[in-house]
Amino acid sequence: YMDFLYSTYKRDKFRTRIEQGKEKGTVEIYISHRGMEQVPTTKIDNNTPAAFAWALMPPDPNLEAEMLARLMVKFGASQEKAKTDIVAATTANPQTERARVVTENEQSRLIVDDSFDRAWRRVGLALDRVGFTVTDRNRAEGIYYVRYADPESDVSKAKNEGFFSNLAFWRSKTEVVPENYQVNVASVNATQSAVLVVAEKAPAQNTDIERILNILKDQLK
């Protein structure tokens, strides 16, 4: 029973990314959240859980906003200003569908209703949230160089691992080798941008490209 009594049933992980700002002498700081929780996998009499496994949780924008506010306070902002700025940033845009996958000439891409600067920031945050490893980036050309492996494979492996493995559930346990991709962000016009995914080595299957685009769309919509 130690598998589910050793600690709480949820884990939160935050990633902080720092990029050179658009204005000279400034930097931009991004914080993304990923979480996992224990879910029952088998039950005994009276529906009492008998075994648990770690499962991914959706990113929590409220936790990201809270961590950003705390960071602003550490950098000298008052708690009132930090709270006001975070609220203004998170409510500045209406909650409408703003991203969609389109296919033209057998090539799929993601259309985002944002200017290039905003789309670049949001795509970077989406990559962090869903578990891509950003190995390099070129903002001038709008390219993120990433490695990606399906995070669900970690969960499926974790079901059969013990107490000490669960303590390090952030560490990759999958034997699947991550693939290298380029995520290209380009301006379409003043209010729209396009996101294109390209495999760095052998051409990727269309299903793989569309799957990655749909993962990003879920974060950008």
Predicted confidence at residue 7, as pLDDT, reads 55
Question: What stretches of the chain show up as alpha helix (H) in DSSP?
Answer: 2-5, 61-74, 79-90, 116-129, 152-158, 163-167, 206-220
What's the whole-number average pLDDT of the chain?
78
> In which residue are the tokens 């009499």 written?
45
Say how far apart CA 78 and CA 199 lie, in whole Å. 45
For 14-37, letters b (16+ CB in 10 Å) and e give ebeeeeeeeeeeeeeebbbbbbbe
pLDDT computed for residue 50 by the predictor: 62
Q: pLDDT band at residue 8, thresholds of 50, 70 and 90?
A: low
User: How many separate helices (H) and strands (E) can be counted in the chain?
Assistant: 7, 9
